[in-house]
Structure 1
Amino acid sequence: MPERLAEMLLDLWTPLIILWITLPPCIYMAPTNQSQVLMSGSPLELNRLGEEQRILNRSKRGWVWNQMFVLEEFSGPEPILVGRLHTDLDPGSKKIKYILSGDGAGTIFQINDVTGDIHAIKRLDREEKAEYTLTAQAVDWETSKPLEPPSEFIIKVQDINDNAPEFLNGPYHATVPEMSILGTSVTNVTATDADDPVYGNSAKLVYSILEGQPYFSIEPETAVIKTALPNMDREAKEEYLVVIQAKDMGGHSGGLSGTTTLTVTLTDVNDNPPKFAQSLYHFSVPEDVVLGTAIGRVKANDQDIGENAQSSYDIIDGDGTALFEITSDAQAQDGIIRLRKPLDFETKKSYTLKVEAANVHIDPRFSGRGPFKDTATVKIVVEDADEPPVFSSPTYLLEVHENAALNSVIGQVTARDPDITSSPIRFSIDRHTDLERQFNINADDGKITLATPLDRELSVWHNITIIATEIRNHSQISRVPVAIKVLDVNDNAPEFASEYEAFLCENGKPGQVIQTVSAMDKDDPKSGHYFLYSLLPEMVNNPNFTIKKNEDNSLSILAKHNGFNRQKQEVYLLPIVISDSGNPPLSSTSTLTIRVCGCSNDGVVQSCNVEAYVLPIGLSMGALIAILACIILLLVIVVLFVTLRRHKNEPLIIKDDEDVRENIIRYDDEGGGEEDTEAFDIATLQNPDGINGFLPHNRRGLLGGISQDAV
């Protein structure tokens, strides 16, 4: 304690002693216009005459002081003397009064108005206020008139070492990579000292480490902390606590100090390879396990952390490289072995794999230590399982002609039990795929037969499912899809592609194309359709029309002459025979209806109905009414006559059945039933006058006997 007290007294009085020695006799003198206020230890005798020039010369010599000093934190029994105001106009007659104003005048600083002595009456703190600006003035004691202009001066508070260094941002945290070289910079810390950094050493700081050696060191002046040991290992120790001290007074004895803590964490680098926990792994798996199922896991441990511990796994050797694969689990950091292809206990019962674990992220600084990888052996045993039957093919494609006979064999499926204790197999058809029961299957040998006739034009494909079931274990079943394609045979005759109706102009020209028609066939020959067109043999020399085959498989009907008259005959029927190119070929007869129409000069159809003859001009209205009445009367007579004849069931013109049979031409075509009986009036065939005037009752083409005279 006495030594500490002596040091404090020495620190307190040393600045005062230095100040006392260094102060000049004249502490402060502020120049004025005619005289000056002097702060001096002894009066100066100057004459009023020529004083201004002499004072200017004196100020140039540099002894004029413009500030005073007072020691901070000084406290004593008496106010401390800061300085003295004095003017050369004061002859010592005590007729001059000194006045002080400005910062702290009267509260902090007090002046003796007679002697000019300035005292500090309060304890000062430089850190609170470092300087004070005041104004001094000398006035006549009796008249209070200024003897000098006011003069400004400064009182500075002299610093003492009364503030210890502080670490404002502590405690601190820093990181440095493990295995760093000696002298690697970690961080730097900074302390502050409230004392005056300009005056003395009160704010001159020196840094040192109190705790944390020999791992770290610190620069005394810059406070940069560095590693003091090379290759510190995070896996051995990850965190260090460092205690740092900052001491003022340049670190000398008697200075004040402050401390803080720094926590240094070693960050991980990839300096450790992965290592399998065991060199041999054993797994077993049933042969019927689903593809992609995880069989087992292997793990290689790594002392590093984060991405430095990430490892990738691979199968590098073994007899099961094609059947198994290994993937990396990023979360668990292990390898998952999965099945890639089906296993067969009867073929191979065990496999051996060699797996490798290697670091994903390699640090080149440590690559020379050796390979950052490790290997282990994996043995996989396949267990027997009761497997379902296996078909010889995953799918079957069968073909059958649409005219195939019932119960004929279409094809065959085969299946076997892959187990060692092979079981017999029974076959069946999934009837949900064959609702119409068009096919059957032999339960023992898998032969598929036809149960009902097939028609390609109704359905080309039939898709059924065949089921194979083990006789010893009915739960073991397998299914296979069977696609049956119906092949085409030539069983449909060609016919017109649509219902055609041609129009012929009365003023048409010979050779003019009346209509172009095309044919269609429900069959589908491999080489495509090719149609042959012809007229009936007895109509080849038709005087009215002819036909011409086009390159696009269509047919054009041409007029042989002009001068057609719709008043004479309005409709012509032209039967056309269409044959396909099948083997054997099929043919049918389609009838084209040709209607004679009235046309304009440029060939535009205007009217196709029977029109009345144009009456001669000049007939009276009475004549027209008489003609109309005659027509109505004739119609009534005809209706009554027809009604009476039908009532008696007598034919209108037909004489006997033999006449009808002699005039019917038979064709090998199917008729239209009752509709065909109304297609034309058979009585016309016996009327020699109706050769060119045959009119059907509807527009449908004839499918049966048409006489040559009708066209």
Structure 2
Amino acid sequence: MNGSSLLPFMLGIPLLWPCFRAIENPKTEEVKHPTGSHSRVRRGWVWNQFFVPEEMNKSSHHIGQLRSDIDNGNTSFQYKLLGAGAGSVFVIDERTGDIYAIQKLDREERSLYTLRAQVIDTATGKAVEPESEFVIRVSDVNDNEPKFLDGPYEAVVPEMSPEGTLVIQVTASDADDPSSGNNARLLYNLLQGQPYFSIEPTTGVIRISSVMDRELQDEYWVIIQAKDMVGLPGALSGTTSVLIKLSDINDNKPIFKESLYRMTISESAPTGTSVGKIKAYDNDIGENAEMDYSIEDASQTFDIITNNETQEGTVILKKKVDFEHQNHYRIRAKVKNRNVDEQLMGYHAEASTTLIRVQVEDADEPPVFLRPDYIFDILEGQPQGSWVGVVSATDPDQRRSPILYSITGSRVFLIDDNGTIVTTTPLDRESTAWYNLSITATEKYNAQQISSVPVYVQVLDINEHAPEFSDYYETYVCENAGSGQIIQTISAVDRDDSIEDHHFDFNLSVEDSKNSSFTITDNQDNTAVILTNRNGFSLQEEPVLYVSILIADNGIPSLTSTNTLTIHVCDCGDSSSARTCSSEGFMLSMGLRTKVIIAVLMCIVIILGK
């Protein structure tokens, strides 16, 4: 007999158990004789374990027979069945001891019944055998299919995972008796999912059997079947589904679908203006699709900003453009993933690039002055119409519109169509040394295009004012003054403006230089001192002396003035100090002034009295 013919025989053995009748199993019991004496007699129940197949559809199924070994066919013996299930599930033929199941049994609900048996002599009403327990076991039949209690399943596995990668394990359960043959022995197989997945038949472990690309298909439905009886004929089966999703890996770089973008920008656009947008596409998702744009050639005129929400690149103006200087630009942009796994660097070896051509559009621009400001100078006192300077502005546009000039807020200057500025009146530096003008340039063909420039006019000084004493000096000399005594320090002022600091020279006039009464010493710091040049002066003979002093400035040409210093001779007494003279002179002056005032007031009174 070969193995293939032996296997069905082996699997059928459990089904043959109900067909075996209980074999005799005599038990030795201690029996009490009617005389009251005890002796050991070999007598007792004859049975073994009883088995009944579950799911039997017969209304009365014979299980086996209970029999006492002293039962010799005496019709006075009566068998009784006691315990849970007696009378409702199981019944016994009181005369023969045959036991029957009167209900269909389910082993998964109850697999074992423990009953008690009695045999009674109906003639005496006494038990022939002591009450004893016996067991009826419900034998298993393959009436339950495998069930996936946790299904349907869902699993996630990274795309491009290698063959053999574990995906998930599914488990089915079978309510049949695992110890009863192969009723609960399961085998798993795929009904749907090949060739991408495989399953281990005995464990239910699902593995990848073919590399998959999420960008081609991102999820798969796999149908798993579990069969009991190790898949032999007559086996029952159950199925479940597994949704397997592929998670993304960064295996795609962003790609520009457009090889050329054309954009335009007006030359009047300020910096920061959006020129246009570019967009690359990445088949990955989430963080793996985040990208950054940049200018490949480090342009100084344009830049690209990445919009993290739309994943677009916005080209912006980084530096103002000039149509007349350059009317088109050619730049190359590149894009790359922001987050790249080092293990996937091979997928991102080269960044995708695209060409951007930017056309600059001409705009009607205002006139442009050749300089940001102008500074002119003119000598004071020049006649009306004197030339001051020239300003110049041009139209930067191609049509080169003529320019009209005007001066804002000034009647002192005029400007002609050539930008020449002239005076309308002689200028006085002492009155106004600087003029701040605003010159406006307007396009002749478009009066809306206006620009202006500041012009500063400095009026240069002409040396027209001679220097003079800076103060009125009251000078005194004592009668008893000695030679070389300093009697006065003088200084000068000049109303002219000097490019350099003023410098004055002090000298005596030619006539006074011959007078030996006084001398002058120039301190070279714009001051000088007057000194006596003799011993003693006479108040009676010369109460007042005059000295002519020449003061020259450093202007071009130099101007000289003659200033007279009045010197009063004073009786200083023994002090020989001119301070005493100045004090007395002050008091005397005050007395005279008082007398004059009183006299005037008296005259007024007399006149009014008349």
TM-score past 0.5 threshold = yes
Which residue in the other structure is 2:449 paired with? 476
Q: 1:288 to 1:105 in 2, by over 3 A?
A: same
The answer to whether the Cα contact below 8 Å between 1:214 and 1:228 also exists between their aligned partners in 2 is yes
Question: Is the aligned partner of 1:337 residue 2:315?
Answer: yes
Which residue in the other structure is 1:382 paired with? 360
Provide the rounded CA distance (Å) in 2 between the counterparts of 1:413 and 1:178: 74
The residue correspondences of 1:79-228 to structure 2 (distance < 5 A) are 79-86=60-67, 93=74, 97-138=78-119, 141=122, 151-228=132-209
Provide the rounded CA distance (Å) in 2 between the counterparts of 1:465 and 1:89: 147
What do residues 8-37 of structure 1 show as CA deviations (whole Å, max 9, x unaligned)? Answer: x999974242455596533xxxxxxxxxxx
Which residue in the other structure is 1:359 paired with? 337
Which residue in the other structure is 1:371 paired with? 349
**TM-score (normalizing by structure 1):** 0.50
Secondary structure at the counterpart of residue 69 of structure 1: strand
The residue correspondences of 1:240-389 to structure 2 (distance < 5 A) are 240-317=220-297, 321-369=299-347, 371-389=349-367
Letter matched to residue 200 of structure 2: E
Which residue in the other structure is 2:24 paired with? 25
Letter matched to residue 214 of structure 1: P
Provide the rounded CA distance (Å) in 1 between the counterparts of 2:178 and 2:240: 21
Q: 1:427 to 1:446 in 2, by over 3 A?
A: farther
What do residues 599-629 of structure 1 show as CA deviations (whole Å, max 9, x unaligned)? Answer: xxxxxxxxxxxxxxxxxxxxxxxxxxxxxxx
Give the superposition deviation at 1:101: 3.6
Provide the rounded CA distance (Å) in 2 between the counterparts of 1:80 and 1:396: 128
What do residues 386-443 of structure 1 show as CA deviations (whole Å, max 9, x unaligned)? Answer: 123557899999xxxxxxxxxxxxxx999765434255265677xxxxxxx9999978
Q: Which runs of 5+ in 2 are unaligned?
A: 1-7, 376-389, 424-435, 456-593, 601-610
Q: Which range is displaced more, 159-168 or 262-271? A: 262-271
Identical residues among aligned pairs (%)? 44
**TM-score (normalizing by structure 2):** 0.58
Secondary structure at the counterpart of residue 283 of structure 2: coil
Q: 1:46 to 1:372 in 2, by over 3 A?
A: farther
Provide the rounded CA distance (Å) in 2 between the counterparts of 1:154 and 1:210: 44
Q: Which range is displaced more, 178-187 or 417-426? A: 417-426
Letter matched to residue 204 of structure 1: R
Q: Paired residue for 1:69, among 29, 46, 51? A: 51
Secondary structure at the counterpart of residue 317 of structure 1: coil
Which residue in the other structure is 1:233 paired with? 213
Secondary structure at the counterpart of residue 250 of structure 1: helix
Provide the rounded CA distance (Å) in 2 between the counterparts of 1:181 and 1:290: 55
Letter matched to residue 156 of structure 1: R
Letter matched to residue 368 of structure 1: G
The answer to whether the Cα contact below 8 Å between 2:252 and 2:347 also exists between their aligned partners in 1 is no
Question: Is the aligned partner of 1:424 residue 2:403?
Answer: yes
Provide the rounded CA distance (Å) in 1 between the counterparts of 2:278 and 2:39: 104
Q: 1:346 to 1:660 in 2, by over 3 A?
A: same
Secondary structure at the counterpart of residue 308 of structure 1: helix
The residue correspondences of 1:384-463 to structure 2 (distance < 5 A) are 384-389=362-367, 417-420=395-398, 421-424=400-403
The answer to whether the Cα contact below 8 Å between 1:297 and 1:334 also exists between their aligned partners in 2 is yes
Q: Which range is displaced more, 420-429 or 249-258? A: 420-429
The answer to whether the Cα contact below 8 Å between 1:242 and 1:264 also exists between their aligned partners in 2 is yes
Provide the rounded CA distance (Å) in 1 between the counterparts of 2:162 and 2:61: 59
Q: 1:659 to 1:441 in 2, by over 3 A?
A: same
The answer to whether the Cα contact below 8 Å between 1:164 and 1:248 also exists between their aligned partners in 2 is yes
Secondary structure at the counterpart of residue 126 of structure 1: coil
The answer to whether the Cα contact below 8 Å between 2:14 and 2:180 also exists between their aligned partners in 1 is no
Secondary structure at the counterpart of residue 113 of structure 1: coil
Give the superposition deviation at 1:166: 2.7
What do residues 496-549 of structure 1 show as CA deviations (whole Å, max 9, x unaligned)? Answer: xxxxxxxxxxxxxxxxxxxxxxxxxxxxxxxxxxxxxxxxxxxxxxxxxxxxxx
Which residue in the other structure is 1:551 paired with? none
Q: 1:416 to 1:122 in 2, by over 3 A?
A: same
Which residue in the other structure is 2:14 paired with? 15
Provide the rounded CA distance (Å) in 2 between the counterparts of 1:51 and 1:465: 151
